[in-house]
Amino acid sequence: MPHEYIPLHSRSKRDMSYSSSFVHKFLNQLQHHQQQHPAATRWDLPRYDASDEADQRVIVSRSTPHVFQLGTGASIFTSTLIPAIVSARSEVVFVTCFWAPSKTLSAITDALAKLANHRRRLPNPNELEPLTVKICFSSRSVFQKLLHPQSYDGYTYSPAEWQKKLGLPDPALLEEAGIRLQVKSLFFLPFSVMHPKFVIIDRQRAFIPSCNVSWEPWLEGCVEITGDAVTSLMSFYALTWEKHLDFRKPLPAIHSSRTSELQDQQLLDLRDLIFVPSSAHHLVRPAVSSAPLPTVVLPSSHHQNPQFRFLPWQQAAKPPATPLNVAMLELFEQAQRSIYLQTPNLTCEPVIAALLDALKRGVNVTIVTGRNMMLLEQLVTAGTTTSWCLRSLVRRFKKLRTHAAHDLESGDPGLGHLRISYFQPRSAAKPGKRGSQARAVNDYQMQVPEEEEPVHSHLKLTIVDGEFTVLGSGNMDRASWYTSQELGVLFHDTDFAASVREGVDLVLNQRLSLVFDSENI
């Protein structure tokens, strides 16, 4: 049976004054697909009705980005996400994809245990408001996925499993400290992982990182936001992980000076937390805007049918028309000047075709991706690899050049500039250079001598025309477009796009290996 759908009617009315040609075309395309193929979205998790105004207000929203951060997963967790988690007053929603023994997991467990001990030592611990921590993930091991319940209710871990299976603190310690932990996983065979990653603190601010709880020292990104889009993320969480949650209900407020004093006392000294520095650490603080930025929250449901085409003469299947997929294709189609794409892998044929179409229109395309990253996963979920797809892209681009002279004579603007690079670790990364920036921001942290240098890029970033910026969990690979649940967040603001691109370019300095540059042929 399909999962229970909670309508979004009667949710808080939010300003829909933001309009652009992109948003109108995006919503129209989404509505058209849902009307033409009503059965296609029946099993969507979560499911949104593009023709419903309440659902539109959830997707088309506003937010204020405060910080965009780059670094390794462990450095982002220990410098930003874990301090935010232990500073929560009432509730933490922590959604990730992969959960594995790692520096990050050790730091999470250490922080929760220290927070519990701190709360227990307070003068009147029984007067503290309980702290609810909800941890949600999809993948822990091969066997966990093979044996996972194939239900939208997922699997809820009992307290007896927290330490041995998940590496979390003693449940008795957490309970005594008033920390109410809940842990749940969702996975659907054969390939449908829940790939989104986000942290919501007290339903007031949210962090959208690209990193998992995992051991890989990869380049990652994270943006912190406040505003209406946080409620949109809570909607996404509730519809996926806790369908009976009334996320509109306000959390316990501070009603007295005594309560305020107690809540101030419950805050842990952040100097006591584990800190993992990275040579790629960099903070970008976007220019302060007079109003929240137009923001589009883009969910993408998982799909169990991968729609493989095994015969070489078969055309690639159209990707599911999820909000994220539709929005990305619409952005590529509307691009007029430039497309910047940074993705761990590039194995999705519709994306490659859309980039070629943009190049035909004279749009400049820059791609930063990974070399030999997760090869087995690429072969299993896509039947190809990023390097093969890049060779195909370059070959098709060169073929287009043979017609360029004729196109110029007929008034066509000519082909855009194509530049492709692989990410590589900085060979001469010197400890203390960018890491000193990390310690400057976190000067209260204990200095750790060894800094993590990212070996691959796991950042998912698209910037179109220096105006539209998309961050989130979605890769430009077949798994993200056809089978995994994903979440993207689009910010429509030129200043934000410029600041993000400037920060990324700074971190990528001396970390790129050029594969192809059309200006050199």
Write down the pTM of the prediction.
0.90
Task: Count other Cβ atoms within 10 Å, centred on residue 464.
Answer: 25
- Assigned token pair, 280: 């790629």
Residue 442 confidence (pLDDT): 44
Under 8 Å between Cβ of 168 and 112 = yes
Task: Read off the tokens for 58.
Answer: 């959830």
| Residue 325 · residue 351 · CB < 8 Å | no
Distances 480 to 131, 306, 324, 364, 516 between C-alpha atoms, Å: 33, 11, 10, 24, 25
Query: Which one, of 97, 98, 191, lies nearest residue 146 by Cα?
Result: 191
If DSSP codes are grouped into helix, strand and coil, which group holds residue 272? helix
Cβ-contact 338, 488 below 8 angstroms:
no
What distance in Å separates the CA atoms of residue 370 and residue 512, rounded to the nearest whole number? 10
Q: Is the Cβ–Cβ distance between 99 and 166 less than 8 Å?
A: yes
How far apart CA 293 and CA 106 sit, in angstroms, is: 36
Answer positive or negative: Cα dihedral of 242, 245, 249, 250. negative
Q: Which helix (H) or strand (E) holds 486?
A: strand 486-492
**Radius of gyration, CA atoms only, the chain:** 23
pLDDT of residue 425: 96
Per-residue pLDDT of the chain (521 residues; tens, 9 = 90+): 333 333 333 334 444 445 578 999 999 999 999 998 888 888 888 889 999 998 999 999 999 999 999 999 999 999 999 999 999 999 999 999 999 999 999 999 999 999 999 999 988 777 788 999 999 999 999 999 999 999 999 999 999 999 999 999 999 999 999 999 999 999 999 989 999 999 999 999 999 999 999 999 999 999 999 999 999 999 999 999 999 898 877 777 644 444 555 556 567 888 899 999 999 999 999 987 779 999 999 999 988 777 776 666 667 788 999 999 999 999 999 999 999 999 999 999 999 999 999 999 999 999 999 998 988 888 888 789 999 999 999 999 999 988 765 555 555 568 999 999 999 999 744 444 444 444 444 443 444 448 999 999 999 999 999 999 999 999 999 999 999 999 999 999 999 999 999 999 999 999 999 999 999 87
For residues 346 and 367, is the Cβ–Cβ distance under 8 A? yes
